[in-house]
Chains A and B, each alone.
Chain A
Amino acid sequence: MTPQALFPTNSFKGALHLEMFNLQNGSSPTLLATSIRQYSRSFEQQQTHVFWTQRKVPSGIRSALARECGNRHFDIAHPASLPVHLRSGHWQQLIDALQDPQALDRWQQALLVRLLTSLGMHGCAIASLEAPTDLHPGSSEADYQYANALARARFLSHKETGAGYRDRYRPEDYWHIVNQRRFGSPAACSATFSLMLQYITEEPDISQAQALAHLLREQAQSIDDDFGRCFVLSVFHRGYALLPARDARLDEMIRHMDLADEYSSKVLDSGDPYLSLVAQENRYSVLESRIKEKFMIEDFGAAGRFAEQLLQLDPLDARALMSVGEAFAAVGDYERAAGSYSRAAHCGPLYTAAAWFMAGQCHAAIGQKEHSALCLLESLRIDPKAISAAEALAMLDPSCPTSAWAASRKLALEAESQ
Chain B
Amino acid sequence: MTARESFTASLYAPFIDLSAPSAQAPIHVQKPLSLAVEHFERRMQIWTLQRAIPSTFRPALARQIRASTLPVTAPTVVAGLSDSERWQQLVEDVARYSALDEPRQASLVRLLFSLGFHATCVALTSNGVASDHESLEARSRSQERSHIQLVHANALWVQWIDDPSTAYSPALHAEVHQNASPATLLRFVAALHLLVFHARNTRDTQLIAHWDRVCLEELYAIEGADYADFYKNLMWSRYYRAQAFIPYLRNDQREALKSMRRAEEFARAMKPSSIHEQLLQRENIFPLSETHGKTALWAGDVELAEAMYTRLVENDPYDPKAHIEYAEFMCAIGKADVALRHYLRASLYAPPGGALGLYMAGQLAALKEGEHGASKGLAMSLHLSALSQDNEACAALEELCEVSAQCSGEEFISAWARAQLEVTPSPTPTLAQEAA
Within 8 Å of chain A (Cβ to Cβ): is B174?
no
- Bound-state Cα–Cα, A16 to B200, Å: 46
B24 touches A404 (CB 8 A): yes
A336 touches B372 (CB 8 A): yes
Within 8 Å of chain A (Cβ to Cβ): is B419?
yes
B348 touches A373 (CB 8 A): yes
Within 8 Å of chain B (Cβ to Cβ): is A346?
yes
Nearest B residue to A377 via CB reads B7
Query: Given known contacts A384-B5, A406-B7, is B387 in contact with A12 (CB within 8 Å)?
Result: yes
Residues of B within 8 A of A16 (CB): 412, 416
Q: Which of A3-11, A211-219, A274-282 contacts B (4 or more CB under 8 A)?
A: A3-11
Within 8 Å of chain A (Cβ to Cβ): is B341?
yes
A312 touches B10 (CB 8 A): no
B344 touches A371 (CB 8 A): yes
Within 8 Å of chain A (Cβ to Cβ): is B391?
yes
B32 to chain A, nearest CB (A): 18
- Bound-state Cα–Cα, A402 to B9, Å: 12
Q: Mark A300-338, 1 if CB is under 8 A from B, else 0.
A: 000000000000100110000000000000000001101
Within 8 Å of chain A (Cβ to Cβ): is B374?
yes
Within 8 Å of chain A (Cβ to Cβ): is B30?
no
B residues 318-373 in Cβ contact with A at 8 Å = 318, 341-342, 344-345, 347-349, 370-372
A12 touches B384 (CB 8 A): yes
A residues 363-418 in Cβ contact with B at 8 Å = 368, 370-371, 373-374, 377-378, 380-381, 384, 401-402, 404-406, 408-409, 412
B86 to chain A, nearest CB (A): 22
Q: Which of B6, B23, B391, B412 contacts A316 (CB 8 A)?
A: B412
B7 touches A405 (CB 8 A): yes
A339 touches B7 (CB 8 A): no
A290 to chain B, nearest CB (A): 21
- Bound-state Cα–Cα, A315 to B24, Å: 41
- Bound-state Cα–Cα, A374 to B349, Å: 10
Residues of A within 8 A of B4 (CB): 408-409, 412
Nearest A residue to B392 via CB reads A10
Nearest 8 pairs of A and B residues by beta carbon:
A370-B344, A401-B24, A342-B381, A339-B377, A346-B384, A405-B7, A384-B5, A335-B374
The binding surface of chain A is classed by DSSP as helix
B416 touches A381 (CB 8 A): no
Q: Which of B10, B23, B370, B409 contacts A315 (CB 8 A)?
A: B409
B residues 396-436 in Cβ contact with A at 8 Å = 409-413, 415-416, 419-420, 423-424
Residues of A within 8 A of B138 (CB): none
Nearest A residue to B21 via CB reads A401
Q: Which of B11, B318, B344 has the most CB of A within 10 A?
A: B344
A312 touches B412 (CB 8 A): no
A9 touches B348 (CB 8 A): no
Residues of A within 8 A of B416 (CB): 12, 15-16
> Which residues does B use to contact A, with CB under 8 Å?
1, 4-7, 10-11, 22-25, 66, 318, 341-342, 344-345, 347-349, 370-372, 374, 377-378, 380-381, 384-385, 387-388, 391, 409-413, 415-416, 419-420, 423-424
Query: Given known contacts A377-B7, A405-B10, is B423 in contact with A10 (CB within 8 Å)?
Result: yes
Nearest A residue to B345 via CB reads A370
Within 8 Å of chain B (Cβ to Cβ): is A343?
yes
- Bound-state Cα–Cα, A29 to B318, Å: 41
A10 touches B391 (CB 8 A): yes
Residues of A within 8 A of B23 (CB): 401, 404
> Which residues does A use to contact B, with CB under 8 Å?
4, 9-12, 15-16, 27-29, 312, 315-316, 335-336, 338-339, 342-343, 346, 368, 370-371, 373-374, 377-378, 380-381, 384, 401-402, 404-406, 408-409, 412
Nearest B residue to A412 via CB reads B4
Q: Which of B4, B24, B387 has the most CB of A within 10 A?
A: B24
A10 touches B7 (CB 8 A): no
A68 to chain B, nearest CB (A): 9
Q: Which of A10, A342, A370, A381 has the most CB of B within 10 A?
A: A370
- Bound-state Cα–Cα, A363 to B107, Å: 46
> Could you list 7 examples of A-B contacts with CB < 8 Å?
A9-B391, A28-B412, A316-B412, A342-B378, A405-B10, A408-B4, A409-B5
Not counting A335-B370, A339-B381, A401-B22, a sample of 4 additional A-B residue pairs whose C-beta atoms are within 8 angstroms of each other reads A12-B413, A315-B409, A380-B7, A401-B7
- Bound-state Cα–Cα, A5 to B232, Å: 59
Nearest A residue to B346 via CB reads A370
Residues of A within 8 A of B345 (CB): 370
- Bound-state Cα–Cα, A29 to B413, Å: 10
Residues of B within 8 A of A412 (CB): 4
A402 touches B348 (CB 8 A): yes
Residues of A within 8 A of B377 (CB): 336, 339, 342-343
Residues of A within 8 A of B341 (CB): 368, 370
Q: Which of B341, B378, B387 has the most CB of A within 10 A?
A: B378
B59 to chain A, nearest CB (A): 15
